[in-house]
Amino acid sequence: MSEGRAAALGEQFEDLEQQHEASSLGMWVFLATEIMFFGGLFAGYTVYRGLYLPGFEAGSHLLNVKLGAFNTAVLLCSSLTMALAVRAAMLGRRRELVTFLILTILLGLTFVGVKMAFEWHHDYEEHLVPGIDFVSEGPNGRAIELFFVFYFFMTGVHALHMVIGIAILAVLTWQASQGRFGPERYNPVEMAGLYWHFVDVIWIFLFPLLYLIGAHH
């Protein structure tokens, strides 16, 4: 047991508790920078939404709310499985940990898959991808285009975060199957969990901002 302790402890730390606190704080600080990163985007979005509300509403109506809602549900479930994975890691239940990590990965993949295969692909076919293929006639054309600029950029950056998260979870799953985690060392799983929840929370903001502007008919 004490060897496990020594292996888990970085040389710069005095004890495991200090290490754990440091990595938690580090993760929170990192998430603070992420919030500022998305904050810049939200600020830009807010400015243009204020300027071109009708266009943004029209743009929003072109999105598929049902798919968006489905994806929201998928992400919320993945947050649950992630939380359960962290619990399993703390309790040292290897098999359970691996199962929940895999479940989380699958849910994450579902989200990204739906996003790309159904929504983005559909948008492309409808000529709604600014800069590549965008056609929108009518009075609000340019505002709709701006809406889609923000839509693609924000969901794109979010999806990128998802993909990074999935990659991290994949590595953790492999490590977990090797028995690298236990009550002495569940820090990496917990940190990945924090990150995963954060990415979910960003989506919770994106969904209403992008899909639910104005009344849908």
Partner 1 sequence: MWFGFPIRPEQASTIAEGIDHLYYFLTAMDLFFTAIIFLTIFYFAIRYRRRSKAETAEQIEGSLPLEVAWTVIPLVLVVVTFVWSSSLFIRNSRPPTAATEVFVIGKQWMWQLQHPEGVREINELHVPVGRPIKLTMTSEDVIHDFFVPAFRVKKDVVPGRYTSLWFQATKTGSYHLFCGQYCGVNHALMRGEVVVMEPQDYERWLSGSKKAETMPAAGARLYEQYACITCHGTGKGPAFNDLYGSQVKLQDGKTVLADEEYLRESILFPSAKIVAGYDPIMPTFKGQLTEEQILQLLAYIKSLGATERKAAQE
Partner 2 sequence: MSTTAVEATTGVNYLNAKYGIRSWLFTTDHKRIALLYLVSITFFFLIGGAAAVLMRLHLIEPQGALLEPATYNKMFSMHGIIMVFFFLIPSIPAVMGNFLVPMMVGARDLAFPRVNLLSWYIYILGGLFTLYAILAGGVDTGWTFYTPLSTTYANGQVMAAALGIFITGFSSILTGLNFVVTIHKMRAPGLTWFRLPLFIWAMYATSIIQILGTPVVAIAIVLVGLERLLHVGIFDPALGGDPILFQHLFWFYSHPAVYIMILPSMGVVSELITCFSKKRIFGYSFIAFSSVAIAVISFLVWGHHMFVSGQSVYAGLVFSALSFAVAIPSAIKVFNWTATLYKGSVSYQAPMLYALGFIGLFTMGGLTGLFLASLATDIHLHDTYFVIAHFHYIMVGGALMGYLGGLHFWWPKMTGRLYPDGWARFSALVIFIGFNLTFFPQFMLGYLGMPRRYAVYPPEFQVLNVMSSAGASILGVGYLIPLVYFIWSMRYGPVAGPNPWGAKGLEWETPSPPPTENFEELPIVEEEAYAYGVKEARVV
- The footprint of partner 1 (CB under 8 A) covers 52, 138-140, 142-143
- Choose which of 15, 131, 215, 217 interacts with partner 2 (CB under 8 A): 131
Residue from 4, 5, 7, 21 in contact with partner 2 (CB under 8 A): 21
> Which residues within the stretch 52-71 sit at the binding site for partner 2 (CB under 8 A)?
52
Minimum CB distance to partner 1, residue 48 (Å): 13
Q: Which of residues 135-164 bind partner 2 (CB under 8 A)?
A: 142-143, 145-146, 149, 153
Number of CB atoms found within 10 A of residue 11's CB? 5
> Could you tell which of partner 2, partner 1, none binds residue 39, using a CB distance below 5 to 8 A set by kind?
partner 2
How far apart are alpha carbons 79 and 87 in whole angstroms? 12
Tokens of 189: 């799983």
**Of 157, 146, 156, which Cα lies nearest the Cα of 35?**
157
Query: Token pair 């790309």 is at which residue?
Result: 116
Q: Is 50 in the site for partner 2 (CB under 8 A)?
A: no
**Which one, of 101, 30, 112, lies nearest residue 67 by Cα?**
112
In sequence order, what are the residues at sequence separation of 6 or more whose Cβ sits closer than 8 angstroms to the Cβ of residue 127? 133, 134, 135, 136
Segment near partner 2 (CB under 8 A), from 94-102, 114-122, 128-136, 190-198? 128-136
